[in-house]
Copies of this chain bind each other. A is one copy, B any other.
Amino acid sequence: MHRMKILGVITLAAASLVIGILIGRFAITPSQLSWLKKMSKDADPKYSQQLHQEIQAEEIHKNLQFFSRRPHIAGSVQDEEVLATYIHNTWKSNLHGSKVYNYTVLLSYPNASDPNYVSILSADGVESNLSDKVEKILSPDQNDSTVVNPFNAYSPSGVIVGDPVYVNYGTVEDFQYLTRDLAMNLTGIVAIARYGKIFRGDKVNNGANFGCAGMILYSDPADYVVGSLDRVYPVDWWLPGTGAQRGTLLKLNGDPRTPYYPSTNSAFYADEKDIKLPNIPVTPISYNDAVKYLSKMAGMEVQSAWKGKLNITYRVGPGFASPYETSKIKLYVKTYNVPKTIRNVFGFIEGQYEPDRYVLLGNHRDAWVFGAIDPSSGTATMMELSRALSKLLQAGWRPRRSILFCSWGAEEYGLIGSTESVEEMGKVLGPRTVAYINVDLALAGNSTLRALATPILHKLLFEAAKKIENPNPDEVRAGRKSVYDTWLKNQPSSHDPNIPRVGNLGSGSDYSPFLQLLGVSAADVRYHYDQKYSLSSYPMYHSVYETVDLVSRLMDRGFYYHQAVARLWGEMALRLADDVVLHLDCVEYVETLQRIVNEVQSLYGPKLLEHNISLSSVFEAVGEFHKAAKAFQSRIEKVNRENPLEVRKINDQLMQLERSFIDPLGVAGNLFYRHVIYAPNQHNLYAASSFPGLASAMFDIDNDPKQERRWQQVKKEISIIAYTIASAASTIQEPSSIGGGSTKH
C-alpha cells in the first residue's frame, strides 16, 4: 500500500513533468518564433475592408476644393509653398514621416504684361483679327489674378511673320504628305496644327525639322467636342470656343539644364545655348480664334482625314486667300525661361519587417491653372488615401514593407520633379522600390477604369479592381457589381475578351523616370470617359475651365468615381506592401512578349527576310524566358513562407525582373528612355512602342539614303532585344544556375 502510494506520487510527478514539458514546448511560443510565424502570413483582410470603409467621397470633394481653389502652376507660391506645405504638415502628423525636396530648375512662363497673340498682318503693316490674349471667364470661380494665360512652355520668344500652312496634327506623316505628295516647301512658313494624336512637343519638333518658322496650336472641336458646338461648357463638359490648351514642348525629362543629374545645390547647370530646347516660337489658341485664320486660307481643300469640325472649308495654304492674299500671319510670343525652385513632398509609412522595400504612390501637384482634373483630382484622392491609411495605422496595422507617398512638382513642364528625384535618389530607389503606382489625375471621365501598366502588374490590377464596388448605380443594376466588370465590358483586351485592356506606359506622367531610368514596375490608373468619343483627351484639358465646378457638376457628382479610384489605389498598395510573396506576375510578361514578337514578325518579318535578317534569336530568347518563368512560378508556389530569406530571394527576383529590361545605354541612343521592351514612340512621347529601338530603326527606312548603315542598325537592335530578353530570363532562374546549378549538397 505504501509502495503503491510512492508509485502514485512518482507517476504524478512524472506526468506533471511531461505535461509541463509539453506546455513549455508547444503552448508557449518563444518570441522569435511567434514573430517568424506572424511574418510568414499575409496581412489580415480586415485591414483591406477597413480601408475601403475609411475612404470617403465627401473628403475627396473637400480636398479638391482646397487644392484647386486657386491656380497653382509649378514655381508659384500657391503650389510650392501653400500646397506643398499643407501636404508636408498633413503627412508629418498622420504618417511616420514626411520630407520636402527642393530643386532649382528651368521653368517657362508667358509675359503677363506683354501677352502672346496671333494676328493677320496686311502688306501695309496693319494688324487685324487678333486672337484673344486671355481665355474668357465663363464662371466666377475662374476669375483669379494668378491665372496664367495660354502658352506653350519653353517656346522661344519671337515675332514671326509668314504664310500660314495648315499641317493637320503635325505628325511626321502629315509633314511628309505636304512635302512629298504635295511638294510644298515649308521653309519659313507658320504652321497651324491641331492638337491631338501625338505629343505637342513632337509636333513642334517635326515642324522645325521641316523648316517651319513658327507654329500655332489650336484645339479643333473634332477632337474636343462631341455633338453640337452649342452644348459646350458651362452647359456640358465639352470644350467651349474660348478655351485653349496650355502645355510643355519639352522633349526630354527633368530640368533641361541638368540632364541625367539632379538640380540640387551642387548641380552643374548647362548654358541655355548648350541645351536642346524648342527653337521656333509657338503659342496655343482657341478654336474661335482658329476660325479667324483657317477660314481665310488659300490653297487646295484638304483631304477628308484632315478636316476638323469647324464650320469652314479647311485648306492647306500656303497663305491667305483673297482679299487677304497679300497678308501674312503674325505670331507674337513673349514666353521666357526662368529658374525657379520646385518641391517634391514625400510621406512615409515605415514597413514593419522590410522597411528597405518601398511601395511608391505618386501624383503631381502642379497644374497649368486650377487643375481640378489634372492633377488635383489625383491629389485629392491621394490625400484621402493617406488619411485612410493613417486610420489603419491607428487601428494597429503596420505594413510589411514601407509605403512612400510622393507629391511631385513641375510635372507639367516635363516630369521635372519626379525626374530630379529619380536622378538624385536612384541609387536608393532602384534597389528598393517594389513598384510605383501613379495617379496623375483620378478622373478624366466616368465611364470606365483606364489603366496603363507593365505586364507584371496586370494581375494585381485585375484582382484589385474586382474588389472595388462599382460607383455607377446603372452598371450595378445591370449586374456589373465591380469596377472590374464595367472595365471588362467597356474595354476588353484586344487579344483576350475575358480580361480588360491594359495600355502600355508611354512617357505621359511621372511613372516614366521610374520605369525608364530605374526599371521599376509601374502603373497609372484613372477613371475615364467613353472610348467611343475618340477624343484626343478629356475636353477641358489644360484650360482655365478645369475647375471644381466642372468636376462636381458635370463629371462626378458625389465623388464616387474618385472614391473608387482611391480604393483601387489603396487596395493595390496594401497588396504590394503586405503580401508575403510579392504580388507581381512574371507569366503575363511572357505572354506579352510572345504577342509582341509575333506582331513584330508579321509586321517586319517579310521585309527583314529580304535583307537576310531573321528574328530567330528573339524567338529563342522569348522561349528561354518562357521556360524560366514557368519554373520560377512553380518555385514561387512551393516557397517556404516561414523562411524569410527564401521569401526574400524570390521577392528580389520578382522585383528585379523589370530592371533587367533596362539598357543603361538608352534605347536607340536616347538616355531618357532605357526600357528595351517599352519606351515612348520616337515620334510621339505619349505613346509606347513595343521594341522601340527596332521600331525606330525600321521607321521610314526605305527613304534613308544610307541603306547599309540603317540595316546594320536594324541588326544591332534585334541583337539588343534578344540579349535583353535572355538576360531577363537569367534573373528569374535559380541563383545556382549561373554556376551550373546545384547538383549535390
Contacts and interface: CB of A to CB of B under 8 A. Distances in A.
Interface of A: 9, 12-26, 28, 30, 32-33, 35-36, 39, 91-92, 95-99, 260-262, 264-268, 271, 346-348, 350, 353-356, 358, 398, 402, 404, 424-429, 431-432, 617-618, 620-621, 642-645, 648-649, 652-653, 656, 659-660, 664-665, 671, 712, 715-716, 718-720, 722-723, 726-728, 730-731, 734-745
A456 to B, nearest CB: 15
Contacts of A39: 645
A348 B16 contact: no
A731 B425 CA distance: 9
A630 to B, nearest CB: 19
26 contacts: A9-B9, A12-B13, A14-B16, A17-B23, A20-B20, A20-B21, A20-B24, A30-B30, A32-B36, A97-B742, A98-B739, A99-B740, A99-B741, A261-B719, A262-B723, A266-B618, A266-B722, A346-B740, A348-B736, A348-B742, A355-B734, A358-B738, A427-B656, A427-B660, A431-B659, A664-B664
A348 B92 contact: no
A35 to B, nearest CB: 8
A500 to B, nearest CB: 31
B738 A428 contact: yes
Contacts of A424: 723, 727
A30 B25 contact: yes
Contacts of A720: 261, 268
Given A402-B736, A429-B738, 18 more contacts: A16-B16, A16-B17, A16-B20, A20-B21, A20-B22, A21-B28, A23-B24, A24-B24, A25-B25, A35-B643, A92-B740, A266-B722, A268-B715, A348-B742, A355-B649, A355-B734, A355-B742, A404-B738
A723 B358 CA distance: 23
A657 to B, nearest CB: 9
Nearest to A519: B427
Nearest to A406: B739
Q: Considering the complex of A and B, which 4 residue pairs feature the smallest CB-CB distances, nearest first?
A: A20-B20, A24-B24, A348-B739, A97-B740
A97 B735 contact: no
A736 B350 contact: yes
A350 B742 contact: yes
Given A24-B20, A644-B644, A723 B427 contact: no
A742 B92 CA distance: 10
A363 to B, nearest CB: 16
Q: Which of A268, A429, A432 has the most CB of B within 10 A?
A: A268
Given A427-B731, A730-B427, A266 B723 contact: yes
